[in-house]
Chain A
Amino acid sequence: MSENGTKRASIVVFSGDMDRVMAAFIIATTAAAMGMETSMFFTFWGLQAIKKKKGTGKGLFGRMLSMFLKDIDGVGPSKLNMGGMGRWMFKKMMKDKGVTSLPELRQMAIDMGVKLLACQMSMDVMEIDREDLIDEVADVVGAATYVLEAQQADITLFI
């Protein structure tokens, strides 16, 4: 809980799968809507959810990895992706049923004051720079910052 008594939620987004990232943003926007101070800590594959649509990396491996990294609109589902067909199918099914798209959900989270944090260490490993991430990312931090957030949180999730 915050010093002013507001409840807090803290979500680690480790996965870069469309369905899991979707769950993370749905819970984050809902927590914010329910009056909670909400933060999301993006690490490893989860960085794709806050990455711009551009190539990354400096060295050979970094640039090779970049070929497999997507942005929030490009990430595929954890099952049935079938080389991108699954992504297309789920997007279409969700749109037909009036479900808010992942990029819109992220924007909604930003508008509602959800704090987006990026993991410094995985950015270093994956050769992703601050400029490769969307401007709305509040800070680039380490595990201790997350643990402090989690200590003060009433809800913590690892997705």
Chain B
Amino acid sequence: MSEELTPEKELDARGLQCPMPVVKTSQEIKNVSVGGILKVMATDPGSMADITAWCKSTGNELVKMEQGEGVFVFFIRRTN
């Protein structure tokens, strides 16, 4: 299971404010193959709701969301 979450790409969006975490995620996901995982790190608390909304709108799958020491980590699977 953890094998499956090995990210193909990582995006460091720490320090970026709305809307940049979502904008950068939308650009970086294009560099991930379909089925691959993009790991996104962000410090913007709004990204919790926003990355979730982005996944919902684009159809990509938010596999896991973690929170630790002011950093939010997202594992997104590219689905299309």
Chain A positions near chain B (C-beta within 8 angstroms): 26, 29-30, 32-35, 97-100, 108, 112
Point out which of A29, A33, A98, A108 has the most chain B C-beta atoms below 10 A from its C-beta.
A33
What residues of chain A lie closer than 8 Å to B17, measured between beta carbons? Answer: 97-100
- A34 and B54 form a contact (CB under 8 A): yes
Q: Nearest chain-B residue to A94 (Cβ)? A: B17
Number of B residues, CB within 8 Å of A: 15
From A30, A35, A97, A99, contact of B23 by CB (8 A): A30
Closest CB-CB distance, B16 to chain A, in whole Å? 6
Given the contacts A108-B23, A112-B23, A33 and B54 also touching, CB distance less than 8 Å: yes
Flag if A29 contacts B23 (CB, 8 Å).
Answer: yes
Told that A29-B23, A30-B22, A98-B16 touch, could you supply 19 new A-B pairs with CB distance under 8 A?
Answer: A26-B18, A29-B19, A30-B23, A32-B23, A32-B26, A33-B19, A33-B25, A33-B54, A34-B26, A34-B53, A34-B57, A34-B58, A35-B57, A99-B18, A100-B16, A100-B17, A112-B23, A112-B26, A112-B27
Interface pair A33/B15, CB less than 8 Å apart: no
A87–B53 CA distance with the chains assembled, in angstroms: 32
Residues of chain B within 8 A (CB-CB) of A32 are 23, 26
Smallest CB separation, B40 vs chain A (Å):
13
Q: Are A33 and B22 in contact (CB under 8 A)?
A: yes
Bound Cα distance A35, B53 (Å): 12
Q: Does B20 contact A (CB under 8 A)?
A: yes
Q: Which of A34, A97, A99 is in CB contact (< 8 Å) with B22?
A: A34
Q: For residue B26, which residues in chain A have a CB less than 8 angstroms away from its CB?
A: 32-35, 112
Q: How far is the CA of A148 from the CA of B25 in the complex (A)?
A: 31
- Point out the residues of chain A lying under 8 angstroms from B57, CB to CB: 34-35
Tell me which residues across on chain B come within 8 A of A100, comparing CB atoms.
16-17, 20
The interface residues of chain B lying within 8 Å CB-to-CB of A112 are 23, 26-27
